Amino acid sequence: MITVAVAAVLVAIAVPSFRNITLSNRLNAAASEMVDSINTARMEAIKRNNYAQFCSNNSTENGSDTLGAQCTTAGTGAAVLLQDATKKTVFIAHAPEIKVTAPLQFSGDLKAVRFNGQGMGVEPDGTALGSSVVVDICTDKLSSDNHRQIFVIGGTIVQTQKSKGTCP
């Protein structure tokens, strides 16, 4: 009987902790996938000395040119790039394999980032990125560190940060 009581206490402690670890790992994996897409867009832009873009989930955020239009069909978080100098041929270089599904979700829209041949990231209209969040993935099932925010600092440095806040 004592063994059953001890086992019940251990299970009562372990299950919530295991759930938190699992959710935290899912947040980290989803954030890593988005960072991979951003880095792929940047590397392909440098490698081909042409433009590449990390796509937003909001079509108006992507821009209305050929590269922005391809983002609409490529999907959220994809890295698309121009293949030739005519700016007409576009292909998908990377599409995220880990989908952000419940209980994870995006907090707001992803910010589209367009990289030039030197690897400098700007908004699709050419303005500087500033210091705003590019991607914010969250869950309301964790009480702390429930956001993973991704920034592109100075147009070149990709940084991930944990934070706490409400998740819509």
**Cα Rg of the chain, angstroms:** 19
Sorted by where each begins, the domain ranges of the chain are 2-47+97-163
Check whether 25 has a pLDDT greater than 90: yes
* Residue 88 in this model has a pLDDT that exceeds 80: no
pLDDT of residue 70: 84
Q: Would you state the pLDDT for residue 85?
A: 61
Closest by Cα among 96, 97, 131 to 111:
131
Q: Per-residue pLDDT tens for 49-73?
A: 988 899 888 888 888 888 888 887 7
pLDDT in tens, 71-81: 877 777 777 87
pLDDT at 2: 83
Average the pLDDT over each of 12-16, 27-31, 142-146, 147-151 and give the range with the smallest value.
12-16
Facing residues of 152 across strands? 158
pLDDT band per the 50, 70, 90 thresholds, residue 105: very high
Residue 94 forms beta bridges with which residues?
Answer: 79
Q: For residue range 112-131, list pLDDT tens digits in order.
A: 999 999 999 999 888 888 77
Q: How far apart are CA 28 and CA 154, in angstroms?
A: 23
Residue 168 has pLDDT above 90, yes or no: no
Instruction: Return the pLDDT at 59.
Output: 86
pLDDT score recorded for residue 1: 78
Gap between the Cα atoms of 81 and 44, Å rounded:
7
Give the pLDDT of residue 26: 94
By residue count, the chain amounts to 168
Domain 2-47+97-163 falls under CATH 2.60.40: no
pLDDT band (50, 70, 90) for residue 148? very high
Q: What is the pLDDT of residue 98?
A: 66
SS3 annotation, the chain: CHHHHHHHHHHHHHHHHHHHHHHHHHHHHHHHHHHHHHHHHHHHHHHHCCCEEECCCCHHHHCCCHHHHHHHHHCCCCEEEECCCCCCCEEEEECCCCCCCCCEEECCCCCCEEECCCCCEECCCCCECCCCCCEEEEECCCCCCCEEEEEEECCCEEEEEEECCCCC
Cα–Cα distance for residue pair 124/81, rounded to 1 Å:
13
Mean of the per-residue pLDDT values of the chain: 86
